[in-house]
Structure 1
């Protein structure tokens, strides 16, 4: 037992001399304290010693023994508790029932060594079992997270549509095993329109991932089951931009705006009615694209403004919010926004994990740096995402990723495919 350490507690600070002699003979390093001193209640500024064994008299109340043991575990391993007595053997009973080991006279060195060795080995085995159980629990947790990520990946599109004259690409990088970001691409109105969604559920981790699955399912189900809508009411008409200019002299009906509006309003209503107590919400950009004309109708619910990059380069055009984040305000109004993706233009949609990416010094990537990257013309959506992704990697280096990162690029070819 030459490698063992012990804390001896005694009301008067004078444990049995023969016990002290036996510990010294067996080269057990020990410290003697009164209960108040061990608990720091006697004005003793000395820290409680780190020890493997707590030796306490059987007359000490079990709650006091537990309190000393807890204080020792604050700075070291949880100690083995061994109570000792010289004559009050009846007091041992309450401690034995609690699983404490014991020492009784005569305190001969061989007997003390054998008892402490037995206690030490049992405690070591117990700690090993606890470590095994903790490791098994960790492996089970990691397995559950893997399953969760696999399920979450099932909510993301398996692939992106291949449209003549269009190049779509996406980057999705969760900060943890599961993410609060999500994106979706699916067809509407008898395959005549393409829905494009990028959203960011507040917070990260499992809770955000659960709400991500709920919100994504509500949006897609409602949009796909809103029925075919060929004409909209007068307040849902948009300028005719077929000539490529900023506006036209007459209005044209917007096909696909009703599924868009129903999906966002319905999802917002469901979340605020049923889940306001959880405090989760999502910023999102949900748009419906006409691949033939390039016309785009959208709702930006408190999301980072997507950027429409002109084919000739220069400052991108932001698609500003048309309503609040989804799941915050009951019965709120969402407006429709309109844009046109001309031949050669690229729509860039992203979550706040892009400008908020940090390097090892904690510096953000920033909006200005992102805008500078987007000023130059790009040949395709894939090339644009590769450019931004490379700049993010260069900025972040080996720094930990703090937030989910999602980027979508929708490029319309200069010439029809």
Structure 2
């Protein structure tokens, strides 16, 4: 009696099972957060899962009845009209939507056409997965990689990366310039074969293995200097730092390398310069000691007179010279000279002049004749070098208490007579040495009374300047000399130097300064 009803019941069961299956599928889609949708053959939504609200901000009711292009951006709306007329399934189609609040949303869409046995399109069924965050992350990652690559390529250092097998994995533009290998040629090659000199290969491989086994490396994570090799085989000094980075179970090593050829050359030049300076300083010290040994080693003090002198060179050695010595038991010779300029060349002329004076003074008695002979002896040497010498020569006759003197363009000495408050300048006509070979030098004689004091000096004293460009001057020298004329010759020199340094406000001076003081007891 019930047999005719069986086919009907089977159809109902199948339909019920199909409905249950679709409900379960839609529930699973909602749970997964994917937007499940159906569209009619013209592309209008006939169904939308609740996930659309989370993805686009619209409720299913706001979506149903709308054309699928209504939610796309204008660009996608134009480009995806083609899918309306097609009946082919699509997969992983990227859609650009506008959220209800206006911000862009990217989805990955998959759709299947539902076609009956007659081949007629009944509807579209598909789902959209929100990939906005994923796409933003991918874009940010790509931007980060681009920026990193830009930094690597624009770095001033050669950047070389190597894996734990010693194979080069990255090689920037500066590495290409430094070593001569292109990026394409270098990547995939062994690092030691490309840039490490052969004699260091074993040490490199042993060091790599030691680090992989123990985690310790002698040259890792610090700045070291080493030797690298170019493509042409030439070697050059580099400064490098190597940092290991563990990725999973493997390591990569990044190296920053700088060519320090120029710096090493500069350091070598600096060392050579220091050695040269040390040698020069030693020679200067030797010259200074030799020059000092040519000057009188001590004052001369007798019952009749006292004389002393002092030389303060602007450099370690100078062109000033003074001397006093007994020609005979009854005669004292005194001389002061100033070679133009200062340092070594004037010092050499000073030595030559001193030797000639000592030689000629034994045979020639007159100061004028001594100067004349000295001028003719030194003229050619002075003329060839554009140097000249000023010189003042004095002879004191102990028995007669008289000064005989001649001048070759030197500043006149100052004489203070006992009880006087003013200085007398001792001068005689005569051209500086080295200007003309034939010169007539005037000679004068002057009596010296008890307690008379004579100051002989070079122009470095009067022409010393202070910070405002003012000269120490002859007037100031005369006043100080007069004020201290009752003191000993050494005290007079000390007073003049003290006032001079106070005036100049410095211990070093631009020109040589020489003082010589004679006083009759």
Under a length normalisation based on structure 1, what TM-score does the superposition of the two structures give?
Answer: 0.65
- Kindly state the Cα deviation for residue 124 of structure 1 after the two structures are TM-superposed: 4.0
Deviation at 1:112?
9.8
Rounded to whole Å, the distance in 2 between the matches of 1:304 and 1:56 is 70
1:286 Cα deviation (Å)? 0.7
Match of 2:152 among 25, 31, 38: 25
Distance (Å, rounded) in 1 between the aligned partners of 2:490 and 2:279: 38
Which residue number corresponds to residue 173 of structure 1? 312
State the alpha-carbon separation in 2 of the partners of residues 179 and 217 from structure 1: 16
Quick one: distance in 2 between partners of 1:364 and 1:136?
Answer: 39
Please say if residues 359 and 399 of structure 1, whose CA atoms lie closer than 8 Å, have aligned partners that are also in contact: no
Aligned to 1:409: 517
Structure 1 counterpart of 2:292: 153
Does residue 354 (structure 1) correspond to residue 492 (structure 2)? The answer is no
User: Could you say which structure has the higher helix fraction?
Assistant: 2
Which runs of structure 1 show a deviation greater than 6 angstroms over 4 or more consecutive aligned residues?
Answer: 20-23, 55-58, 95-102
- Three-state SS of the structure 2 residue aligned to 1:373 is helix
1:317 to 420, 424, 433: 424
1:391 aligns with 2:496: no
Paired with 1:380 and 1:175, the residues of 2 have a C-alpha distance of 26
| Structure 2 partner of 1:283 | 390
* 1:38-93 deviation digits (Å, cap 9, x = unpaired): xxxxxxxxxxxxxxxxx7998xxxxxxxxxxxxxxxxxxxxxxx485759x9xxxx
Q: 2:332 maps to which residue?
A: 194
How far apart are the structure 1 equivalents of 2:510 and 2:266? Answer: 35
> Partners of 1:360 and 1:83 in 2: how far apart?
57
Q: Give the structure, 1 or 2, with the largest relative contact order (CA under 8 Å, sep 6 or more).
A: 1
Are the equivalent residues in 2 in contact too, given 1:83–1:100 (CA < 8 A)? no
Could you give the per-residue CA deviations for residues 210-243 of structure 1, whole angstroms, max 9, x where no partner exists?
11111111111111233xxxxxxxxxxxxxxxxx
| Deviation readout 1:166-211 (Å, 9 max, x if unpaired) | 12121211110001001011111x3321110111100011111111
CA contact (8 A) 2:382 2:388 kept: no
Deviations 1:119-168 (A, max 9, x none): 23x55444333222221111111111111111111221222333222121
CA distance 1:379–1:160, shift in 2 (3 Å)? closer
CA RMSD of aligned residues (A): 3.5
1:134 is aligned, of 249, 273, 281, to 273
Give the structure 2 partner of residue 204 of structure 1. 342
Alignment of structure 1 residues 210-289 onto 2, 5 Å: 210-226=348-364, 256-257=365-366, 260-289=367-396
Q: Show CA shifts across 1:88-127 (max 9, x none).
A: x9xxxxx96998899xxxxxxx99956x33x23x554443
Distance in 1 between residues matched to 2:273 and 2:470, nearest whole Å? 37
- Contact 1:345–1:412 (8 Å) recurs in 2: yes
CA contact (8 A) 2:414 2:424 kept: yes
Q: Distance in 2 between matches of 1:126 and 1:111?
A: 30
Match of 2:126 in 1: none
The answer to whether the Cα contact below 8 Å between 1:308 and 1:341 also exists between their aligned partners in 2 is no
- Alpha-carbon separation, structure 2, partners of 1:57 and 1:368: 74
Distance in 1, matches of 2:368 and 2:335, equals: 13
Distance across 2 between alignment mates of 1:290 and 1:57 = 88
Q: Report deviation, 1:360.
A: 2.9
Residues 26 and 113 in structure 1, CA contact (< 8 A), matched pair in contact too:
no
Structure 1 position 344 matched with structure 2 position 482: no
Structure 1, unmatched stretches of 5+, are 1-19, 31-54, 59-81, 90-94, 103-109, 227-255
Deviation at 1:356, TM superposition (A): 1.3
Residue 302 of structure 1 contacts residue 325 of structure 1 at CA under 8 Å; is this kept in 2?
yes
Greater Rg by CA: 2
Secondary structure of the structure 1 residue equivalent to 2:460: coil
Structure whose residues are more often strand by fraction: 2
Q: Give the superposition deviation at 1:310.
A: 1.1
Aligned residue in 2 for 1:105: none
Note if contact 2:489-2:519 (Cα within 8 Å) is conserved in structure 1: yes
Provide the TM-score with structure 2 as the length reference.
0.53
Size of the alignment, in residue pairs? Answer: 305
Distance (whole Å) between structure 2 residues aligned to residue 380 and residue 216 of structure 1: 27
In the alignment, is residue 303 of structure 1 matched against residue 441 of structure 2? no
SS in 1 for 2:336: strand
